[in-house]
Amino acid sequence: MDNCDSVTLFPLGALPNLKKLTISYCPRLLSLPTQGFAAPHLEYLFLIYCPEIDCFGEECLPPSLITLEICKCQKLERWITSNGLQSEGLTHLSLSYWDEVKSFPTEGCLPASLQSLKLSDFPNLETLDCKGLHHLTSLEELRIELCPNLENTTEERLPASISEVYILGECPLTSKLQEMNDPRIQIEIPYESDSEDNSPWM
């Protein structure tokens, strides 16, 4: 669903076999009602520029959901940072254009099932909160893109489960991660011209 200025509610009852859903540029969309029941096979959900969606209520995210991407959803950003995101089967999470966050993720904010996490275009992010990463025992890949003010971590080491850290664009944290000299962490800085990328978001 794309560029629906007048839509405020998007029921999914007529799409019980839906596996992939992208909702973009729906500035008046308020909610995705009872999504867990209406789309029991949904595996991929991408929300871009839906600024009025303000929560994922109980049973909104189905257990079948594997990949979630959220871009330019201001109220949802505030809700997730305040209440946390719970989804028992989610493995890939991409968050983009979060303007207000200065420290992320807080402890218990993200689901423990995550295997990859991407933070992109967080212009005011200053601190990577390792306490919020330690309970992500399945997390293997961390991608940080275009976070020009990110320069601190709350701990000297990243969680042991992480095997790959990708830094793209200007980010003061790069030098600090390199100084950690942790043999468990491989830090790579890919170039924008790289043609090969195995990211689940590409």
Distance CA 167, CA 174 (A): 7
Whole-model pTM: value is 0.84
pLDDT in the model for residue 122? 96
Phi and psi at residue 28, to the nearest 5°: -110, 0
pLDDT in the model for residue 131? 87
15-40 residue pLDDT tens: 678 899 898 988 888 877 555 556 77
Distance CA 36, CA 146 (A): 33
Question: Which residue numbers in the chain have pLDDT < 50?
Answer: 1, 192-199, 202
Compute CA 4 distance to the chain's CA centroid, rounded to the nearest angstrom: 24
Q: Are 152 and 124 in contact (CB under 8 A)?
A: no
